[in-house]
Amino acid sequence: AQTVTQSQPEMSVQEAETVTLSCTYDTSESDYYLFWYKQPPSRQMILVIRQEAYKQQNATENRFSVNFQKAAKSFSLKISDSQLGDAAMYFCAYRRANTGNQFYFGTGTSLTVIP
């Protein structure tokens, strides 16, 4: 199994401010996909943003953007203009591109948004 590490169990951010959640992963493969998922309390996990490893350009989805550093195997999520609805567990996930269909998840970061 691939290893995905999220070193921040908990983070907090003031409403309207910016926060960055970190993620590193271990792989020997050159082609893969990376994802950030959001899991609100008692609700299902939903996709926030995805990144293909072969693309150098960082993915952006509205207030969410990533900083993908392939050589460093780092994939951080930046949330701009944080909103109360952003409060949730955030999981980083890795998926192989060519062989297997498994998604591997990090341990998650619990984000609190302070009004």
Partner 1 sequence: DAMVIQNPRYQVTQFGKPVTLSCSQTLNHNVMYWYQQKSSQAPKLLFHYYDKDFNNEADTPDNFQSRRPNTSFCFLDIRSPGLGDAAMYLCATTLSGLNTEAFFGQGTRLTVV
Contact residue for partner 1 among 25, 35, 75, 94 (CB under 8 A): 35
Question: Which position among 47, 60, 61, 69 is part of the footprint of partner 1 (CB under 8 A)?
Answer: 47
* Interatomic CA distance for residues 115 and 44, integer angstroms: 24
- As a whole number of Å, the CA-based R_g of the chain is 14
Among 28, 43, 57, 85, binds partner 1 (CB under 8 A): 43
CA distance 97 to 112: 33
- Does position 107 interact with partner 1 (CB under 8 A)? The reply is yes
57 binds partner 1 (CB under 8 A): no
State phi, psi for 85 to the nearest 5 degrees: -70, -5
Using the rule CB under 8 A, is 84 a contact of partner 1? no
Size of the site for partner 1 (CB under 8 A): 26
CA distance 92 to 74: 11
